[in-house]
Amino acid sequence: MDRSNLMPMYAPFFHRKACHVTPAKPTPECTAGGDARRARRGAVTLRDIAGAIGVSRATVSLVLRGSPLVHASTRACVEAELDRQNYVYNRTAANLRQRTSSSIALVINDLSNPFFAEFAAGVNEALGAAGYVTLLGSTGESTQRQQVVLTSLMEHTPAGIILSPAEGSQAQALSQVLGRQRNVVLFNREVEGAQWDLLALDNAQGAFLACTHLIAQGHRRIVFFGGHAASSSCRQRRAGYARAMQEAGLDTLYFEAAPNRQEAALCGVRLLSSDAQAATAAVCYNDSVALGLMAALAKHGILPGRDFAMTGFDDIAEAALFTPALTTLAAHPRARGRQAAQLVLQRIGSPELAAQQLTAAVALKIRASSACAPVARMSSPPPSSPFAHSPTKASGR
């Protein structure tokens, strides 16, 4: 709230207070008695601070707000008493009084994905620079958990929300928990019927570029590996892959993996014994899935970049450090986090604006994992492999 227009009205009064207030010096007995009463009552209040040094609660409030209307000596006395009593500012109460909030909620669907760690860092950087605190929640790809997390965060009355929706999210269910909160930015996944701002990646074009690159390397049996079939980002990446295959006159092959790198490594073995066994390359849904598949192939003597070509999506830090380095689509997650933060800040400042839908471009980074031409593979994992019958699961953002 802008209080600059209030200063002329109150300035004469507070200047007189600042000039004539002489803080009282409480006796040890008085201080001890006040501390005892406070211990019984609970948290330190403005009344406790004001009573201990003989000033008004209004003066203490002005000091807390950094007002220039308080005399330096009085300010020093108040600050010393705040420190002595370990006063903690009640942000929730202040929000209720001022009808504002200094926090913004960030809710993501997969904390285990390094992409979101970078994304969250970017969000936090931009919000911190604007004077906001980030409240973080994770849904673990569960719409039920998402409702619980959002309900809890709404109790803190955040000024806005950045949400990467869980698979299967519905606009009506989200609207019920968000109530009148309209300062919402969805990231990377669309929610049908939602009227909020959306920041998405160019998923279709990214997968198209990756698949076209593998086709140019001579591959004809290319599988799309991983992804939540019900999420908009997965549908878009599959569509980009399918377009590249169809334009080349090739058949599409789909194989779903697991929701994280570890399970992708287990289910990657299943790929070798599936209908897609003859595949010589894979367009992976994201980098985490790709790195899990690379580990599974290497364990069975199939070296990515030499015997099998593959691409990822995201360009997380490990993609360039892995051996072989992973060809991927650079999505610049930290920059996307900053962009999402700027969107929600813009929405807070201009709530009357029409909802925006922005698409961030991605760029193909060619590395060693896709360097090889097609190599025929005749062997498959032994039937006794403990991973041969791993259940097929969904994976990715």
Strands 222-225 and 253-255, sheet pairing: parallel
What's the confidence (pLDDT) of residue 254?
Answer: 87
Q: What is the pLDDT of residues 256-297, one digit of tens each?
A: 655 556 666 666 767 776 665 689 999 999 999 899 899 888
| E strand or H helix that includes residue 85 | none
Banded pLDDT at 397 (limits 50, 70, 90): low
How crowded is residue 375: how many other Cβ atoms within 10 Å of its Cβ?
A: 14
What's the confidence (pLDDT) of residue 358?
Answer: 98
Would the pLDDT of 241 be above 60?
yes
Compute CA 91 distance to the chain's CA centroid, rounded to the nearest angstrom: 23
Would the pLDDT of 24 be above 70?
no
Banded pLDDT at 171 (limits 50, 70, 90): very high
Which of 286 and 8 is assigned the larger pLDDT? Answer: 286
- Residues 300, 381: contact at Cβ < 8 Å? yes
Two tokens at 52?
Answer: 């201990």
Q: Is 157 left (phi over 0), alpha (psi -120 to 50) or beta?
A: left
Banded pLDDT at 1 (limits 50, 70, 90): very low
For a pLDDT cut of 90, what percent of the chain falls above it? Answer: 59
What's the confidence (pLDDT) of residue 22?
Answer: 46
Which of 67 and 15 is assigned the larger pLDDT? Answer: 67
Q: Minimum mean pLDDT among 61-65, 80-84, 137-141: which range?
A: 61-65
List CB contacts of 284: < 8 A, sequence separation 6 or more. Answer: 225, 226, 290, 293, 310, 311, 312, 313
What whole-number distance in Å separates Cα of residue 32 and Cα of residue 237? 67
List CB contacts of 27: < 8 A, sequence separation 6 or more. Answer: none
Mean pLDDT of the chain: 82
Peptide bond into 324 cis (omega under 30): yes
Would the pLDDT of 133 be above 60?
yes
Which of 82 and 344 is assigned the larger pLDDT? Answer: 344
pTM: 0.73
- The residue ranges of every structural domain in the chain are 4-89
Strand order in the sheet with 253-255: 253-255, 222-225, 281-284, 309-311
What's the confidence (pLDDT) of residue 260?
Answer: 58
Scored b (16 or more CB within 10 A) or e, 83-106 reads eebebeeeeeeebeeeeebebbbb
Which homologous superfamily does the CATH classification assign to the domain defined by 4-89? lambda repressor-like DNA-binding domains (1.10.260.40)
What whole-number distance in Å separates Cα of residue 79 and Cα of residue 87? 10
